[in-house]
C-alpha cells in the first residue's frame, strides 16, 4: 500500500505546485508591476506539475495492477 500513498503524495505535491504557479500568473496579470513574476519560470512549474502528476498516476496504476495480480495468484 505504500506505493499508493506515495502516488497520492505526489499528486498532492503536483497540485500545490500547480496552484502556486497559477496564483503567481494570476497575480502578474492584475499587478501594477508586471516584472514581479517570471512567466517562463511559472510555465516551467506548470509543466513540471503536469509531469509529476502523470508520473504519480502511473505509480498508482502500477500499484493497482500489482495488487490485482497478487490477489489473482493467491485466490
Give 8-26 pLDDT, tens digit per residue.
Answer: 999 999 999 999 999 988 8
Cβ atoms of 22 and 60 within 8 Å: the answer is no
Written as nine digits, the cell of 26 is 494570476
Reported confidence tier of residue 36, pLDDT bands at 50, 70, 90: low
- The three-state secondary structure class of 28 is helix
Q: pTM for the full model?
A: 0.79
Shortest CA distance to 1 belongs to which of 74, 60, 72, 73? 60
Nearest 10 degrees: Cα torsion 58, 62, 63, 67:
150
Domains of the chain, by residue range, sit at 2-74
Average pLDDT for residues 37-49, to the nearest whole number? 91
Q: Does residue 55 surpass a pLDDT of 70?
A: yes
Amino acid at each position: 500500500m505504500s506505493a499508493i500513498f506515495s502516488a497520492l503524495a505526489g499528486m498532492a505535491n503536483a497540485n500545490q505546485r500547480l496552484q502556486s504557479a497559477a496564483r503567481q500568473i494570476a497575480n502578474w496579470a492584475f499587478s501594477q508591476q508586471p516584472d514581479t513574476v517570471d512567466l517562463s519560470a511559472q510555465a516551467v512549474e506548470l509543466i513540471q506539475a503536469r509531469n509529476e502528476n502523470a508520473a504519480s498516476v502511473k505509480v498508482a496504476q502500477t500499484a493497482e495492477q500489482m495488487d490485482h495480480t497478487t490477489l489473482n495468484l493467491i485466490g
